[in-house]
């Protein structure tokens, strides 16, 4: 699933359940960053597509880098003008980190189900016990359903807040 919106559905649901504690922006950013790896290998016609960053260790490296990059970007934004799309500059580091954690680890799980070249436990094992544990259609439908549920919850919250005014 290179940089596919299917990954974002569960992030929307998780964010909807804890909007102050889990950043959807952190979730999406982590998913996009992790998929730069297979995108590079697609563009350079190399196989396997899913390598180091598509293992739990590689995903953890991305997770450790996420708050550092976020804090550095915020400091840079304080000195120079950077677009504040979606209000990212007002976010706190902890929700961004939690969002990134949910993003990288769910990404490994979903891609492990979908892709035969995944080695999520590398370098300790080449096994991928999740491969095709459910059908791809079920996986994709679950991701879309999670996204729709998340949007419904967020919409209901906004409507309730507006009616409370």
Q: Which DSSP letter does residue 6 get?
A: G
- Quickly count helices (H) and strands (E) in the chain: 6, 0
Q: How much is the pLDDT for 42?
A: 95
- What lies within 8 Å, CB to CB, of 79 at 6+ separation is none
Instruction: In whole angstroms, give the CA distance from residue 104 to residue 111.
Output: 11
Please answer whether residues 144 and 13 qualify as being in contact, where contact means their C-beta atoms are separated by less than 8 angstroms.
no
pTM, two decimal places: 0.92
Q: What whole-number percentage of the chain has pLDDT above 90? A: 86
pLDDT at 3 over 80: no
What 8-state DSSP symbol labels residue 16? H
Mean pLDDT across the chain: 95
Task: Report, as an integer, the average pLDDT of 24-35.
Answer: 95
Q: Which residue has the higher pLDDT, 52 or 83?
A: 52
Token pair 């939690």 in the structure block, residue: 98
8 Å CB contact between 125 and 50: no
71-97 pLDDT per residue, tens: 999 999 988 888 888 888 899 999 999
Among all chains, which residue has been given the structure tokens 């915020």? Answer: 74
| Chain segment 94-142, per-residue pLDDT in tens | 999 999 999 999 999 999 999 999 999 999 999 999 999 999 999 999 9
Question: Would you state the pLDDT for residue 2?
Answer: 64
Mean pLDDT of 44-59: 98
pLDDT, average across residues 44-63: 98
Task: Give the domain ranges of the chain.
Answer: 5-164
* In the predicted structure, residue 1 carries a pLDDT above the cut 60: no
């Amino acid at each position: 699933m290179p940089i596919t919106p299917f990954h974002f559905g569960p992030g929307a649901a998780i964010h909807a359940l804890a909007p102050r504690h889990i950043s959807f922006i952190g979730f999406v950013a982590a998913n996009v960053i992790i998929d730069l790896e297979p995108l590079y290998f697609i563009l350079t016609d190399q196989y396997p597509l899913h390598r180091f960053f598509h293992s739990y260790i590689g995903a953890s490296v991305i997770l450790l880098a996420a708050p550092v990059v976020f804090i550095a970007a915020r400091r840079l934004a304080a000195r120079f003008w950077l677009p504040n799309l979606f209000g990212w500059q007002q976010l706190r580091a902890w929700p961004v980190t939690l969002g990134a954690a949910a993003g990288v680890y769910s990404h490994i799980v979903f891609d492990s189900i979908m892709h035969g070249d995944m080695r999520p436990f590398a370098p300790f094992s080449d096994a991928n016990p999740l491969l095709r544990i459910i059908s791809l259609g079920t996986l994709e439908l679950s991701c879309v359903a999670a996204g729709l549920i998340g949007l419904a919850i967020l919409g209901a919250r906004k409507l309730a807040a507006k009616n409370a005014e």
